[in-house]
A = this chain, B = another copy of it.
Amino acid sequence: MEHFPHTPPNLTKNQSMVMAALLKANGPLSAYTILDQLRSKGLRAPLQVYRALDKLVEYGMAHRLESMNAFVACRHPDGESESMVAFTICESCGEVTEISNDGFDRQLHKLAGGAGFNVKKSTVELFGQCEACA
C-alpha cells in the first residue's frame, strides 16, 4: 500500500545518504551494511540508519524485504500499477526485482475479502529462479 515511487520529497542529510547507498547497490542491503558503508561519512549508530530507512519506506522510495531483513530502493518499472508490490528473489544469483499488477492486486483483495478480511498492506515475496539462472 501507499506506494509512491518517483516522488522524492526533500530528503534530509541522513536520508539522502541512505537513499544513495540503496540506489548504488545492486541488491538488497541490511541496515548494518548500510551503516558500515556510511561510517566514513559520519554515521555512527544503527538508529541513524533505521530512522532514515523508516522515512524512505514511508515515502515509497524504498522497500523492506521482510524475509531478508533488508532494504531496496524502489525500482518500480514505469507503466506498472502502483497498487501492490511483489518482489522476486532469485535463490541462485540474489537478484531482486519489483513487480506489480492491478489484476493481481484485485485478486489478492478478493481472496482476503472472501474471508471477511480488509487488506490495507501486503507483503509478497517470491523465491525461485530468475530468467538468467533458469
Binding site for B on A (CB under 8 A): 66-67, 86, 88, 90-91, 97, 99, 101, 103-104, 107-108, 111-112, 114-131, 134
- Give the residues in chain B near A126, CB-CB below 8 Å: 108, 112, 117, 119, 121-123
A104 CA / B105 CA spacing, docked (Å): 10
- Give the residues in chain B near A88, CB-CB below 8 Å: 112, 115, 117, 119
Choice from B97, B107, B115, B129 contacting A103 with Cβ under 8 Å: B107
Contact A122 to B124, CB < 8 A, known contacts A99-B115, A111-B101, A115-B97 = yes
Report yes or no: A123 in contact with B125, Cβ–Cβ below 8 A: yes
A70 CA / B114 CA spacing, docked (Å): 25
A86 closest partner in B (C-beta): B111
Distance to closest chain B CB from A68 (angstroms): 9
